[in-house]
Amino acid sequence: MACILLARFEAVTVTTLTTMNVHRLFLVALLVATKYLDDVPPARLCDNARELLRALSAVGGVAAAELEQLEIAMLMLLGFDMSVSPCEYHSFCVINCAENSA
């Protein structure tokens, strides 16, 4: 799902993925996708979001504050549409598997 969100992001912005920004953008897409898919009771939602942000920040070597800013920017650019239909997921997988095997 994170790869689909990243592809959507690239389609709606002039930003292209480069070796200088791909890890930051992938981390943000992973953060957004994980929050969207995570089945957490509302009472634990804030704690889990903070833990996830800290973990991704540490793993990716990106400041938590920067990840938060990038998360907001990505959500706004994508119109807060995080849903991925099974058909869209399948199409994305087929296209990318064909590209990688060629």
Which of 52, 46, 17, 51 minimizes the C-alpha distance to 31?
A: 52
For range 22-41, the mean pLDDT = 84
Angle at which helix 64-77 crosses helix 2-12, to 10 degrees, equals: 70
Question: What confidence category does residue 72 fall into, taking pLDDT thresholds of 50, 70 and 90?
Answer: very high
Kindly report, residue by residue over 43-60, the tens digit of the pLDDT.
566 677 788 888 888 888
Cβ distance 77 to 12 under 8 Å? yes
Instruction: Please state whether the predicted TM-score (pTM) of the whole model is above 0.85.
Output: no
Cβ distance 72 to 78 under 8 Å? no
**pLDDT number for residue 43:** 59
pLDDT > 70 fraction of the chain, expressed in percent and rounded: 87
Residue 73 to residue 100: CA distance in whole angstroms: 30
Residue 67 to residue 28: CA distance in whole angstroms: 6
Question: What confidence category does residue 76 fall into, taking pLDDT thresholds of 50, 70 and 90?
Answer: very high
